Structure 1
Amino acid sequence: MPSSRRTYLAGVGVGLSTIIAGCSDESRPTSTPIASNWEQIGHDSRHTSANTSISNISQGDTHWRTELEANAEISGVAVIDNRIIAGGRREMERGFLSQISLGDGEILSSVELSTPVIAPPVLSENSVITTCRIDGQTGNLRSFDYEETERWSHRVAGTLPAPPAIHQSVVYGGSRKGEIFALEESDGDVRWERTLGDEQTEGAVSAPPTVDETGVYIPLSSSAAQGIYSLSPTDGTTKWKIEGPRILSILARTDDVLLVSYPSYDVAAFDIRTGERRWSTSLAEKEVSPPAVSDGIIVVADETTLYGLEAETGEERWSITCDPDTAYQPVIAGPTVLIQSENSLICCSVEDGEQLWTSDHSSGIPIVPFENGLLFSPAPNTLAAYSSYQE
């Protein structure tokens, strides 16, 4: 089955060894990870990076640690129930997809792929979609069932395609050549496709589409037509567009607005029906993370500070200095928000920004929460589960 890390690993199967380790303080045993779902890059196709059904993630330590072959590199992971789906690459030219037990880190099954997996898997109840690189000019999406049988493949123009999004049994994706498409989840048949951009500079879709019942929201860069597009989920026609901004990161859809992080200082909210700007807020530093949002609070980071903003107005509610890693979207798990820094993980209250705990662990992939902990990658070939101390 699949697995993944920041650049996306490759090669699972023969020769993998699993190491299970308890917490470092034997007097404080950690809790067994509890089943939860984090099926897409930002939790679901709206990419809010929030799972409000999780109760809390409190202070803890490493519950288990699984090491893959030395030449493996994890690109990212997703979770469905008690299973982790991980994808990645090995020796640059091959890939792997693995199913791992959430409870103890045991590798349940794996399949070696001929192409490296370069992004976290995207899951539904019936499908595992991997994003793969074929060569310097093309990539593809590959669909598997949970028995590891490949069902279909869809070729994508341009190197390093962004992961897709799944919504209501349709797979939405884009390419660095400005191609936008909707595929049937069951068989990969094209429902619709179109090209944004122009012949000379083309377009580039650098982040997964954000999708709901009303629209497919596309950030387009590297083109005279760059900007933000709202397309019809039914046929891909343009509903509205905002010309000009060069958006490189994932968009978040909440309530009646689309939240956008600019690659230079700003966070903005746009009306989901018209594209009209509701508000924008400038941050102190240039690099800005993708936004996460839950219960009317937006959490976003710049190079030095983590912020909580009012979703309705963009006004600052709280801020803490914590040297966050802006490459990653903050992760909201119930009442807490988790952010990576260069050498640690930091947990704060979403409500007021109070710092609840820090850990000296760091991760090379986007962290994924479960009910009482989170998954992280402390080394390119290693996956670990951090869970709360037993009470």
Structure 2
Amino acid sequence: MPSDPPSNTSASRRRYLALAGAAAMSSIGAAGCLGAIDRRLRGPQTEWRTVLEGERFLSSPIVNRSSEVLAMGSNRLYALDASTGDRQWRTTDFEQSTNCPVIADGVAVVAGPDRRAAYHPSGTRAWIRRVDGWFSPYAAFGDGTVIGGYHEYGTYEPPIVLIDTGDGRRKWETTPEPWLNPNGTTHSVSDIISVGEGGVAVDEIGRFAGLDSDGSVRWAIGTNDWRGHGSLEPALATDGELVVAAAGSVIAVDPADGTHRWRASTPSETSGLAVADGTAFISFDGHTRRRDDAPAGVLAVDLSNGSERWQTELPDAPGPPGVGVNDVVVGTEGGDLVALDAATGDRRWSGPVGNRMDDRPLVMPERVIAGGKVNGDPMLVAISREV
């Protein structure tokens, strides 16, 4: 059952700009220009900050149907009021968790190494089931289902599993034949996304599989495009027409048959991607197999052909990007939150908000909510998007 929420720590605005003679400016155009300059110089304007003491880590935030912000800690699922940061409820069913919750059919599905569970927007438990292995939910997959995968190298179990959101039971499981190792084991699943009536999965060494809604494997391929790019574990994103994968380079495939559409290079290994408005936005972290001082930043590529639209370097390694209507927001290992213009890559605002801010930000119409750490404790912070 949910426990009583404590109050959160409020944070006031961080920086103000003092400009001599500003009061003398009377035109609307001048005031608007000043406001934009002021925003860039002041940096992020904090609305609230909630520290979750005792947790070791925190997943990237998402929103449920009650417009609450959900984030999975090392062993608890938290729900916060998006406007105030006040904690609404938390769960106590897990000793350890795997990854971000998935919202499907009005419930939040979460998992740990020995169980999975679902929770209603009120925080009451819909169901809980004991499982074997490191199962992680990845995406809603058709009516009343969530697709997930196992994070165990060398397992003989099918790595891709579909569960029923009504009771948590398995509906089907599958192993793409090209994913099998010579001894019959498989590698861990790296990511799965839903596309149309099916989906696309990728394992930790970059092998793809197209899936139908009934669990049959539509196509499966390996790829040599990752070679020479360090660690793998690709992340996936889609616009519904193409599936884009990033892991040191960027690859686009057709979800219908796995046809390779294009490949784009990145300056260093990737830490996440997002797709919006015909563009793929890729974070790169400054690490390669041969050096740790390569550029870090964000790359935007055209979804139609993989050509570069812009590239913006950052002083610290960014985490996965969050995308709004006109901006791309990333947190960095150095504790900054950075907003870039989605069309040009120009920096709109940036500034420190924590000790480490490398989770994917949640970009909402009125605010950006980001997870990170402050004084060693995980926290969520809300930043105003007003200019």
Q: TM-score range, shorter-chain basis?
A: 0.7 to 0.9
Larger Rg: 2
* 1:248 is aligned to 2:214: no
CA distance in 2, matches of 1:317, 1:241: 30
* 1:69 is aligned to 2:53: yes
Question: Is contact 1:297–1:308 with CA below 8 Å preserved after alignment?
Answer: yes
Task: Name whichever structure is richer in helix by fraction.
Answer: 2
Q: CA deviation at 1:273?
A: 1.7
Task: Tell me how large the CA RMSD over aligned residues is.
Answer: 2.8
* Closer, same or farther: CA 214–114 of 1 in aligned 2, 3 Å: closer
Question: Is contact 1:205–1:219 with CA below 8 Å preserved after alignment?
Answer: no
* 1:151 is aligned to 2:126: yes
Percent of aligned pairs with the same amino acid:
20
* 1:18 is aligned to 2:8: yes
Deviations 1:298-321 (A, max 9, x none): 111322232111111111111121
Question: Is contact 1:203–1:221 with CA below 8 Å preserved after alignment?
Answer: no
Please name the residue that 1:365 is paired with: 359
* 1:192 is aligned to 2:178: no
What is the identity, as a one-letter code, of the residue corresponding to 1:298?
A
More displaced 10-residue stretch of structure 1: 360-369 or 338-347? 360-369
CA distance in 2, matches of 1:110, 1:122: 16
* Ranges in structure 2 where 5+ consecutive residues have no aligned partner: 19-38, 227-231, 287-295
1:207 alignment partner, one of 170, 178, 190: 190
Question: Is contact 1:335–1:350 with CA below 8 Å preserved after alignment?
Answer: yes
Q: Relative contact order (alpha carbons < 8 A, sep ≥ 6): 1 or 2 greater?
A: 1
Matches within 5 A, 1:131-146: 131-134=111-114, 140-146=115-121
Please name the residue that 1:92 is paired with: none
Matches within 5 A, 1:1-391: 13=3, 16-25=6-15, 60-70=44-54, 73-80=57-64, 81-89=66-74, 95-134=75-114, 140-155=115-130, 157-159=132-134, 161-168=135-142, 169-176=144-151, 177=155, 178-196=158-176, 197-198=180-181, 200=183, 202-221=185-204, 227-233=207-213, 235-244=214-223, 248-262=233-247, 264=248, 266-285=249-268, 287-302=269-284, 303=286, 304-323=296-315, 325=317, 328-343=319-334, 344-361=336-353, 362-376=356-370, 377-379=372-374, 380-389=377-386
CA distance in 1, matches of 2:16, 2:96: 39
CA distance in 2, matches of 1:188, 1:113: 15
* Closer, same or farther: CA 145–163 of 1 in aligned 2, 3 Å: same
Query: TM (normalized to structure 1)?
Result: 0.76
Please name the residue that 1:6 is paired with: none
More displaced 10-residue stretch of structure 1: 200-209 or 353-362? 200-209
Question: Is contact 1:206–1:219 with CA below 8 Å preserved after alignment?
Answer: yes
Q: CA deviation at 1:71?
A: 5.2
CA distance in 2, matches of 1:253, 1:209: 11
